[in-house]
Every structure is written in C-alpha cells, then in structure tokens.
C-alpha cells in the first residue's frame, strides 16, 4: 500500500514536512489484545505512506520498557502509568507529550475505555490540535465496572463531539456509543478490524478435535465456558481437546476448573507473542473450530483472524459477535446457553468447513486505507483536495440522529 495523498495536500505550504500523527493507546506491544494488534497492524501500514509520520504514544506500568524505541519503522513513546496492578492507567505524561504545540498535526486516540484518551483529548483541545477517536470498546470481568460504562460514555460525550472524526469498529459499537454518549447527529464512521495473517508455514491442516479459544485470560472472555463445554464435546468427539491462547489474571482459575472437570490433560493454556503473526496463523490453521464465547466484543480481531484462515467460528450471539452471526460468518450460540448447547454447536462446526470467501472479509490493508482517508479529510481543507494512490476504501457511516440519543 503506497500513496502520496498527505504529501499532495501539504505541498503548497510545506512540501518537506510530513503529516505527523500520534496514535495514543493505553497499551501497546509487548502487551497483547485486540487494540494492540489493531494499532500494530494499521500503524506499520500507515507509516509506509509517503508524507505520513506515525508515532505511537502509550503507557508502561512496569517501568521496564524503553521510554522510546523504533519498532518496524514506528516510533514508540512510553510514559509511566499508575497503579501497576490495575487497569486505570493514570498517566499524566500523556497530556505532556500530546500538548506539545507544533509537534503533531493530528492526535488519534485508539480506545476510549481508560483515562488515557480523556487526557489526550483534553491536551489536544488545549493545544488547538485536531483529534479523532476510534472507540475500541471492551468488556470487563467486574460487573460494577460494566455498569459504569454508560455513565463513562456520557461524561466523555462533550469531548467526543469536539473530535474531527469518530470511528467505530462495528455498527453495533457505533450505535451504542452514539446513544450512550449522546452524540446526536455527530457522524460515526465504521471501519472494521482486519484479520489478515501471513501464510501458516509449514502448510498445516486442521488437527482433529482441536478447539482454540483466543483472548486475554479474563472471566468475561469466556474461556471457562469452553472448558465447561469440553466434557460434552468429548462424548461426541473422543479426541477433543482445547488450546487457550492468551495470558492474564484468570489463568489460575481456568486451570483449577479444568482439574475439577477432569480435563486437565485436554486443556493447554499458552501464549503467542503478539508480533509473531505467523505463529498465530499456524495455531488457528490447526484448529478444527475456534470458540468465541465472550460476553462482550466490539469487533473481535481473533475471530476475524480465524475466519481469514478458513476456520469455522462458534460465538455468543451478542454485541459485536452477534453482528458477525447476522452476517453468516459466525455460528451463533445464545449468550448464557448451557454448556451442552455450546458443545453441540462446536461439534457441528467441526464437521462443517467454513464456506466464507476470504475476499468478502475486511483486511488490515482496507482498514489502514480507510483510516488514511480519515486523516486526509482533516487536512484537505487547508489546501487543494489531496489525491491518493490507495485503493478506494470508503468507510461505512453508521446512522445517527435524534433516535440514537440526542
């Protein structure tokens, strides 16, 4: 993917000056997760465009990572965050870096569920720097934290309404935020996550009976529901076994659950480094079915990756996964269904190869192209309309208006 779109729009005033974008996110590599993968995949594609300079600004709760480093052509800046063992991400250094006048042409907040984007938006507004937001909403294992989301989005509403562009990763997310943040007629573009993975080398096929469940080891991610379904699957598929790919605080309880159900020898919990995309491609390509029994996903990267390598997916018919169920890409299970019901769907999916044409799926290239067009829209008014060699990739526009929360 290459282009001269940003350079063309700035040629009159400063032909040698790149358009400088700082992507602000609470976490980045080596941390794992959907947002981290999204920023990694689109960031390295966007940084390859002529006239565009991309920096990632993130936090470090460990105090062990470099404050500045260059990863695959992207400058990564890290500031300390507190407390170390929580996900509040209080990081005053974010505002200090974002608010440096003359350093950035656009602030792109990747994620909305921590204090990090709030600090970034406030700092950008004070400094007179345009900012945009990609929501990337997520769930939480604590009920009271989920209950606070509506109030959190409502409080963020004034800042979101002042953004030059708002982006959701699914129509479900766009409609939910428009209503809860009371965005009124403020447009929200839908730019879906890609799922493109490199070829699995050596070339592999599905391993009989293998179920894969991907995601951070949190209760709301639903790995425990797959473990609960496993004994039922084994009655129909004697060689059934589960591989959980992820790490996080819930790992000990998952292992204890496997022990209580007598399936310890059938459950493997492991981790793939987020930048090792080929290892992830192989792990998914070797699955007979991928399980996504999460309580909340806006547009799960792991599901899109599984679909991209031609593997069937069974997921809860809720939130963003429900949108994929409606599209016919995921075999749906009613949220909270008994373990036997989830097992039945897993068994059926194992014997029903995916019929999805990979060409129908969004890719990271298309995602990055649409983001580049959004960046372009923030600068084209300063001079002549910019041109681009990028393939056309127009973002979907979610409905908005009084019926969605004015």
Q: Are residues 139 and 226 in the same domain?
A: no
- pLDDT number for residue 382: 46
State the residue range of the domain holding 306: 210-359
Q: Are residues 45 and 121 in the same domain?
A: yes
How many angstroms separate the CA atoms of 55 and 33, rounded? 19
Question: Average pLDDT of the chain?
Answer: 85
In a domain, 277, yes or no: yes
In a domain, 46, yes or no: yes
Q: Are residues 176 and 36 in the same domain?
A: yes
Q: Are residues 185 and 230 in the same domain?
A: no
- Return the percentage of the chain with pLDDT > 90, whole number: 60
Residue by residue, what is the 3-state secondary structure of 237-300? CCCCEEEEECCCCCHHHHHHHHHHCCCHHHEEEECCCCCCHHHHHHHHHCCCEEEECCCCECCC
Listed residue (288, 305, 356) closest to 327, CA to CA: 356
Q: CB–CB of 28/60 below 8 Å?
A: no
Q: Are residues 29 and 53 in the same domain?
A: yes
Residues in Cβ contact with 79 at an 8 Å cutoff, skipping those fewer than 6 apart: 57, 58, 59, 60, 67, 91, 92, 93, 94, 96, 97
Q: CB–CB of 179/173 below 8 Å?
A: no
Axis-axis angle for helices 339-350, 223-236 (nearest 10): 60
The enclosing domain of 20 has a CATH number of 3.40.50.2000
Residue 270 has pLDDT above 90, yes or no: yes
In a domain, 222, yes or no: yes
In a domain, 252, yes or no: yes
Q: Are residues 24 and 50 in the same domain?
A: yes
- Return the percentage of the chain with pLDDT > 70, whole number: 84
Look at the chain and report how many structural domains it folds into: 2
Largest CA distance in the chain: 70
The model's pTM is 0.81
Q: Are residues 245 and 121 in the same domain?
A: no
In a domain, 33, yes or no: yes
Residue 141 has pLDDT above 70, yes or no: no
In a domain, 110, yes or no: yes
Q: Are residues 355 and 367 in the same domain?
A: no
Residues in Cβ contact with 13 at an 8 Å cutoff, skipping those fewer than 6 apart: 382, 383
Q: Are residues 128 and 158 in the same domain?
A: yes
In a domain, 405, yes or no: no
> Is residue 330 helix, strand or coil?
coil
Q: Are residues 185 and 262 in the same domain?
A: no
Calculate mean pLDDT across residues 136-165.
72
Calculate mean pLDDT across residues 379-387.
47
- Residue 313's beta-bridge partner residues? 290
- pLDDT band (50, 70, 90) for residue 119: very high
In a domain, 132, yes or no: yes
Q: Could you report the per-residue pLDDT of 53-86, keeping only the tens digit for each?
A: 999 999 999 889 999 999 988 999 999 998 776 6
């Amino acid at each position: 993917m290459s282009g001269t779109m940003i350079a063309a729009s700035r040629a009159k005033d400063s032909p040698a000056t790149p358009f400088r974008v700082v992507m602000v996110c609470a976490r980045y590599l080596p941390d794992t997760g959907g947002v981290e993968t999204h920023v990694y995949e689109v960031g390295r594609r966007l940084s390859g465009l002529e006239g565009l300079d991309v920096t990632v600004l993130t936090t470090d709760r460990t105090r062990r990572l470099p404050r500045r480093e260059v990863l695959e052509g992207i400058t990564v800046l890290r500031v300390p965050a507190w407390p170390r063992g929580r996900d509040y991400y209080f990081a005053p250094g974010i505002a200090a870096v974002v608010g440096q006048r003359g350093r950035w042409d656009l602030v792109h907040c990747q994620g909305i569920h921590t204090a990090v984007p709030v600090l970034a938006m406030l700092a950008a507004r004070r400094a007179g720097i345009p900012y945009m937001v990609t929501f990337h909403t997520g769930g939480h294992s604590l009920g009271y934290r989920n209950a606070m989301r509506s109030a959190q989005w409502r409080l963020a509403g004034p800042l979101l309404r002042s953004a030059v562009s708002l982006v959701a990763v699914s129509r479900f997310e766009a409609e939910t935020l428009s209503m809860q943040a009371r965005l009124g007629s403020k447009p929200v573009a839908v730019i879906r996550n890609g799922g493109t993975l490199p070829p699995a080398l050596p070339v592999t096929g599905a391993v009989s009976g293998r179920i894969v469940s991907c995601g951070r080891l949190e209760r709301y991610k639903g790995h425990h529901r797959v473990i609960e379904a496993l004994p039922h699957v084994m009655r129909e598929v004697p060689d059934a076994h589960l591989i959980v790919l992820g790490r996080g605080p819930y790992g000990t309880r998952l292992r204890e659950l496997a022990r209580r159900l007598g399936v310890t020898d059938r459950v493997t919990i492991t981790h793939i480094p987020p930048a090792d995309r080929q290892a992830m491609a192989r792990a998914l390509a070797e699955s007979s079915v991928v399980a996504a029994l999460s309580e909340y996903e806006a547009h799960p990267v792991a599901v899109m990756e599984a679909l991209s390598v031609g593997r069937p997916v069974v997921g809860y018919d809720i939130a963003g996964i429900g949108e994929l169920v409606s599209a016919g890409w995921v075999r749906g299970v009613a949220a909270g269904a008994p373990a036997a019901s989830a097992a039945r769907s897993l068994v059926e999916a194992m014997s029903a190869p995916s019929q999805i044409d990979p060409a129908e799926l969004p890719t990271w290239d298309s995602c990055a192209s649409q983001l580049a067009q959004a960046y372009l829209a923030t600068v084209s008014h300063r001079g002549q309309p910019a041109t681009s060699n990028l393939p056309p990739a127009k973002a979907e526009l979610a409905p908005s208006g009084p019926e969605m929360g004015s």
